[in-house]
A and B are shown apart, each in its own frame.
Chain A
Amino acid sequence: MIKFHPSEEHLFHYVTGDLSPAMLMMVGTHVDMCSQCQEQVREMEQLLANKMFGQEEVPEEFALSDASFDGDEMLARIMAQAPDRHEAPRLQQAANELILEGKRFQLPGTLARNQHRIGAWHKVVGKMWRASVDVGGDDVLTFIYMDKNTRVPEHTHKGREATMVINGVFNDETAEYRDGDFVFLDSTVKHTPETRDEDCLTLAALDAPMHFTSGLSRLLNPFSSLFFK
C-alpha cells in the first residue's frame, strides 16, 4: 500500500506537462505504480478537457466564420489523407527490466519507455550505486541503488529533492518508504536515509547539490557533484 504521494499540484502539473523533465518522470513513474493517483490524473484530465471544450459558445473572434481561421480549408486538407491504421508505435514490452548487481528490477512504464536514457552505473560510496537518467532540463534525474544496511550520510539539499522507491525499502528519521512511495523534501529538512535488511532501488530528482551536514561526511560535500552528471 503506497503511503506517500506527490502533491495535488505536482499531479496537476504532470497532467498539463508543466514540470521539469526530471519531475515529470518522477511523477509519471509514481502514477504508473499508484492506482489512486491514476484515478486522480484521469479526473484532472477530464476537468481540463471540460474546461477547454465545455464552453457553450466559442468567443466570436475564434468562430469558424472568422476570416483568420480557415476551418473549411483545414478540414479538407486533413480529410484528404487516408487514415493510416498501422503506423502507431506499439508500446515496447520487452525492454522493461533493469539488471543490477545480478538482480532484476521491473521498470514501470514511464521508465521502461525511457530506458535508452539510463546511463552507466557508478559506485558512489560504500554500497551505494547511481546511474543518471538523461532527460534534459536543468535538474538531475538519477537512480540510486542502496544495498542492504547502507546509510547515506545526513544531508540537506540546497534546493529540493524528490525521491521515490522503485523497489525495496528505506528508512529515514521520520518514516519507512516502500515501493511507489514518493517524498518531496526541501532545504529545511535534514535526513539520513538508510536501508536495513532489504536493498532499495530509488529514483531521485535533485534541483541542487546535496549538502552533507554531519561530522566527517561534510568531507563529502566537495564530492556532492558525484550525485550529478
Chain B
Amino acid sequence: MSSAQPDDPDHAAALLALVATEQSRTAFSELFNYFAPRLKTYATRQFGNEQTAMDLVQETMTNVWNKAHLFKPDRGSASTWIFTIARNIRFDFLRKNKHRQHDLSADELWPVLAEQNDSLDDDYALDDDLLMQQLAGYCEVLPKAQRVVIELIYVEGKSQQEVADALGIPLGTVKSRTRLALQKLRELINSDD
C-alpha cells in the first residue's frame, strides 16, 4: 500500500473495498486526502462559492464513507464512481437553489447510490416460490370441493363460469366455494404470523 497512490485505479478500488468491508479509517483517510482537495477545486470552479464547494466535498466524501459497499469495480473505476456521486450532488444543489418542488432529482436520473442488485428479480422469484409452496400447503387443508375450485381458477387459470361448466355445478356454487376458500386461506395465513 505504501508506494501506490489513489490515482492508481486498482489501489483506489482496493481502498474502497477496505472501507466497505472493515470500515478502515486508514483507507478512507488516504482516499479523502487524495479526492477531497481535488473535489474542492472542481466545486469551487463550478459554484464560485466557498461554502457551497465545501458542502459538496463533505456530502460527496460522506457518501464514499457510507456507501463504499455500493461501488462495483466491474462497472467502472473508483474515480468514475466518485465523479458520478459529485455530479449528482451538484445537480441537486443547483436545483435546490431554485426552490422548485417538482424538479427532477439526480437519483431519478442517475441511480448511482441505489442498490443495484443484479439478483433482484431472482429475489422476487424466490419469494414467489416460497409463497406458492406455503399456499400449496394451506390448500391441502381446504375441503376437497373448495380445493378443486381454487386449483382450477388459480393454477389452471379458468374463469368461474368455465369451472362451473367443467364440474357441472351452478356458477353461484363456484362463487361461494371460492369465497369460502379464500376466506379460509386468509385466516390460515394470518394465523401463521
Contact = CB atoms under 8 A, between A and B. Distances in A.
Q: Do A and B come from one complex?
A: yes
Given A71-B37, A74-B61, A24 B109 contact: yes
Given A25-B104, A83-B19, 8 more contacts: A50-B79, A71-B33, A78-B61, A84-B66, A90-B114, A113-B108, A136-B100, A136-B103
B110 to A, nearest CB: 8
B83 to A, nearest CB: 4
Interface of A: 15-17, 21, 24-25, 28, 42, 45-46, 48-50, 52-55, 58-59, 62-64, 68-69, 71, 74-75, 77-79, 81-85, 87-91, 93, 109-110, 113-114, 117, 134-137
B109 A28 contact: yes
A90 B120 contact: yes
A17 B90 contact: yes
A78 B35 CA distance: 14
Contacts of A55: 38, 41
A64 B66 CA distance: 22
B108 A114 contact: yes
8 contacts: A52-B86, A54-B7, A84-B66, A88-B67, A88-B70, A91-B111, A110-B108, A136-B95
Interface stretch (B21-29, B136-144, B159-167, B168-176): B21-29
Given A46-B76, A81-B62, A53 B7 contact: yes
5 smallest A-B Cβ distances: which pairs?
Answer: A136-B103, A49-B83, A17-B91, A49-B79, A49-B80
A202 B91 CA distance: 27
A183 B81 CA distance: 30
Contacts of A63: 37
Main DSSP-derived SS at the B contact region: helix
B121 interface: yes
B82 interface: yes
Contact of A113 (B67, B84, B111): B111
Contacts of A46: 76-77, 79-80
B54 interface: yes
A93 B120 contact: yes
A49 B77 contact: yes
Given A17-B106, A49-B77, A75-B32, A68 B42 contact: no
Interface of B: 7, 19-20, 23, 25, 28-29, 32-42, 44, 50, 54, 57-58, 61-62, 65-70, 76-77, 79-80, 82-84, 86-88, 90-91, 94-95, 100, 102-104, 106-111, 113-117, 120-121, 124
Nearest to A94: B124
A49 B80 CA distance: 5
B113 to A, nearest CB: 6
B44 to A, nearest CB: 7
B33 to A, nearest CB: 6
A145 B4 CA distance: 55
B103 A52 contact: no
Contact of B102 (A91, A93, A136): A136
B55 to A, nearest CB: 11
B80 A45 contact: yes
B37 A78 contact: no
Contacts of B87: 15-17, 48
A52 B61 contact: no
A7 B12 CA distance: 32
Contacts of A42: 76, 80
Given A49-B83, A78-B62, A93-B120, A135 B37 contact: no
Contacts of A89: 107, 114-115
Residue of B61, B103, B110 ringed by the most chain A CB atoms within 10 A: B110
Nearest to A93: B120
A142 to B, nearest CB: 15
